[in-house]
Amino acid sequence: MPHIVYFEIKRWLLQIGAKGKRRVFEEMLHDTITIQSMDEPVWDMAATLYVETRKEGKPMGDADLLIAAYCLVNDYTLVTNNTRHFERVDGLKLVNWKT
């Protein structure tokens, strides 16, 4: 998982005060999840997506742009419940974990 996803999950868990879920998340981080840095191709792709989504009149937030770029560059499938924000990104493979 890239750092930006870690940040989004951690801030959400802190915001809602989910101590139990936070503990499970932190255990997963130590046992099964590797935090990965985003290299220059990811940042370049995010910049391209930034311009493209604005030209289309459907801008995305920076975190979503970085997550989409990370998945595109690495040919990963994005697993999220927030597919609406990502459906406009051409070539991005999406799975909604709630359906």
**CATH code reported for the domain at 39-99:** 3.40.50.1010
pLDDT in the model for residue 99: 76
Do 87 and 73 contact (CB within 8 A), yes or no? no
Residue 84 has what pLDDT?
87
Q: What is the pTM of this model?
A: 0.84
Residue 72: what pLDDT? 97
Q: What is the pLDDT of residue 43?
A: 97
Give DSSP secondary structure letters for 29-64. HHHT---B---HHHHHHHHHHHHHHHHTT----HHH
- The pLDDT assigned to 85 comes to 83
Domain borders along the chain are 1-37, 39-99
Q: What is the pLDDT along the chain (99 residues), one digit of tens a residue?
A: 899 999 999 999 999 999 999 999 999 888 888 888 899 999 999 999 999 999 999 999 999 999 999 999 999 999 998 898 899 899 999 999 887
